[in-house]
């Protein structure tokens, strides 16, 4: 069972040690880069994804919308450590993200984007009910899910 835990002094080392699988490294920012970006954006909230033993096995960043974007939250980053892939953790993390955001009650629509070459991401998001909305200006595939 996975859980989202705010990043703090107790888990930061485990979060910083997370790495994508080599074949996914070109599709995602490093954890350090994601944390740097989140520190500059108050609406971005990073979390460690921990397993039942409390070990960090992944990392997620939510970007909460404002202004015209109220009720819309972005999954900015989702990374499952290379040693935890192909165990269902990505699928469970996406399911948990939808439940987490629904429970908070601040979100009506979740959106995200991914590199069209990242078949693993496409599969996991589609399985969770996200719908493709076309390519953005940067060539990333946009997906959305209403909750």
Domain spans, the chain: 3-108
What is the pLDDT at residue 25?
Answer: 87
Query: What's the burial of 42, exposed, middle or buried (CB within 10 Å: 0-12/13-18/19+)?
Result: exposed
Concatenated DSSP letters of the chain: --EEEE--TTTHHHHHT----GGGGGGS--HHHHHHHHHH-TTEEEEEEE-TTS-EEEEEEEEE--GGGTTEEEEEEEEE-GGGTTTTHHHHHHHHHHHHHHHHT--SEEEEEE-TT-HHHHHHHHHTT-EEEEE-TTSPEEEEEE-
Beta bridge partners of 74: 63, 111
What is the CATH T-level fold of the domain 3-108, as seen in this structure?
Aminopeptidase (3.40.630)
Q: What is the pLDDT of residues 13-33, one digit of tens each?
A: 999 999 999 988 889 999 999
| Residues ≥6 apart with Cβ < 8 Å to 18 | 31, 56, 57, 58, 59, 79, 81
What is the pLDDT at residue 105?
Answer: 86
Q: What is the pLDDT of residues 32-91, one digit of tens each?
A: 999 999 999 999 999 999 999 999 999 999 999 855 567 889 999 999 999 999 999 999
What is the pLDDT at residue 71?
Answer: 83
Tokens of 79: 């990374």
Kindly report the pTM of this predicted structure: 0.92
Q: What is the pLDDT of residues 108-139, one digit of tens each?
A: 999 999 999 999 899 999 999 999 999 999 99
What is the pLDDT at residue 94?
Answer: 98
What is the pLDDT at residue 91?
Answer: 96
């Amino acid at each position: 069972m996975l859980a989202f835990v705010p990043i703090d002094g107790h888990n930061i080392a485990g979060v910083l040690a997370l790495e994508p699988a080599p074949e996914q490294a070109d599709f995602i920012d490093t954890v350090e880069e994601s944390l740097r970006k989140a520190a500059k954006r108050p609406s971005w909230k990073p979390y460690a994804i921990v397993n039942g033993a409390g070990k960090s096995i992944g990392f997620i960043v939510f970007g909460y919308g404002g202004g015209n974007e109220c009720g819309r939250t972005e999954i900015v980053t989702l990374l499952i450590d290379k040693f935890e892939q192909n165990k269902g953790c990505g699928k469970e993390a996406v399911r948990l993200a939808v439940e987490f955001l629904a429970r908070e009650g601040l979100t009506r629509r979740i959106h995200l984007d991914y590199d069209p070459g990242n078949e693993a991401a496409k599969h996991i998001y589609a399985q969770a009910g996200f719908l493709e909305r076309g390519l953005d200006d940067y060539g990333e595939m946009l997906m959305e899910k209403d909750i």
